[in-house]
Structure 1
Amino acid sequence: MSELTDKKVLVVVSNRGVEQDELKEPVEKLERAGIKVTIAAPETGQVQTLVGDWDLGEVFEVDEKLSEVRESEFDLLLVPGGTLNADNLRLDTDAQRIVMSFAASGRPVASICHGPWLLVETGLVKNKTLTSYKSIKADVINAGGTWKDEQVFRCPAENFALITSRNPGDLATFNDAIIEELSH
């Protein structure tokens, strides 16, 4: 995995509401592989995670404000879920700018659970096939995407790879797919 030590992943989250394991587990796996991970949120300080969209989870430090991110410096964008997190991100103009920049430049985006709401909001699911938490299936379809009920799905259509997964139960497979993508 030495080829991964020069890779950089940007994780975009809101300051409150990201599903704890959907942030913690990918970040830990990527860092163990030698990948530099940067957590960006609307405000400096901390990210308060939630467990099951309800109970308070762990707190993580913000590395950069979304408004100050230079997305061209990163190899992959990770958008974790959590209902509150995803709903806030999809309305955040900086998060929208970042995901659109990744797609326009052909760099991969990985998103789990409710995270694809950001891609729905920006129009980036049109002509893409993806999976997500089942409650946003209709949003994906209404935005012109095709929804699949699979642990992880990689779609190369529209000139950028989109790796998606359904929920925290799929994290091991999702994390492996991200590592695989960065290995190319």
Structure 2
Amino acid sequence: MITLQGRKLAFLVALEGAEQVELTRPWAAVQEAGGTPRLLSTRAGRVQAFRHLDRADQFPVDAAVGEENVDDYDALVLPGGVANPDLLRTDQHAVRFVRAFFDTGKPVAAICHGPWTLIEADAVRGRTVTSWPSLRTDLTNAGANWVDRELVVCENGGNVLITSRKPDDLAAFDEALVTWVAHS
């Protein structure tokens, strides 16, 4: 059995717009493997998750991303949702935090629209990735090799980037996340 005992993962979302299932399913996978997920956002309070375009549940923020140190985490998860990464990529603290994971060689996992934030952090150049299909042009223009697959695990530059397209891909995404973090 794979264990994440003693591992702490940052889940970074904007205050509004994260796709709920892309937050809650990987979160549960991390907890089931014995890891500690922490919810980070652009500021303290609660985040409003969505089921596509409809409001869903709210979740308490553990810490504002600008107050956190990448050294305190073993990996980063970027859930999707249309508005979520669009808001994150305009926040300098969020972008710096994401970039720091690549600079320190720690695993990063992004699903659906999540890779939009990776573009802003200049973290996709030379990497093979997947995403929601509407991001294809943006990712390609940012130097990524975009493919339409359930799961892409790209080892490049000393760390691993895990990407998936949509909620239907969550089983593969969660398994890859837990496996790669356990072995990093």
TM over 0.5: yes
> What's the counterpart of residue 115 of structure 1?
114
> What's the counterpart of residue 7 of structure 2?
7
> What's the counterpart of residue 67 of structure 1?
66
1:11-160 to 2 correspondence within 5 Å?
A: 11-52=11-52, 54-160=53-159
CA distance in 1, matches of 2:155, 2:17: 29
CA drift at 1:158: 2.3
Question: CA, structure 1 residues 24+3, in 2 after alignment: closer, same or farther (shift >3 Å)?
Answer: closer
CA distance in 2, matches of 1:92, 1:60: 20
CA drift at 1:183: 1.9
CA distance in 1, matches of 2:104, 2:66: 19
**Which contiguous aligned blocks of 4+ residues in structure 1 show a shift greater than 2 angstroms?**
none
Structure 2 residues without counterparts, runs of 5 or longer: none
CA drift at 1:58: 1.2
CA distance in 2, matches of 1:28, 1:61: 16
SS at match of 1:57: strand
CA distance in 2, matches of 1:94, 1:108: 19
Q: Which is worse superposed, 1-10 or 111-120?
A: 1-10
Counterpart of 1:73 in structure 2: which amino acid? D
SS at match of 1:135: helix
Asked if the contact 1:127–1:158 (Cα under 8 Å) also holds between the matched residues in 2, the reply is no
The total of aligned residue pairs comes to: 183
CA distance in 1, matches of 2:33, 2:182: 11
CA distance in 2, matches of 1:57, 1:38: 19
CA drift at 1:159: 2.2
Structure 1 residues without counterparts, runs of 5 or longer: none
The C-alpha deviation readout for 1:103-125, integer Å capped at 9, x for no partner, is 01111100000000011112110
Q: Percent identity?
A: 38
Asked if the contact 1:40–1:66 (Cα under 8 Å) also holds between the matched residues in 2, the reply is yes
Counterpart of 1:11 in structure 2: which amino acid? F
SS at match of 2:173: helix
TM-score for both structures, normalised by structure 1: 0.97
Question: CA, structure 1 residues 165+2, in 2 after alignment: closer, same or farther (shift >3 Å)?
Answer: closer
CA distance in 2, matches of 1:116, 1:182: 19
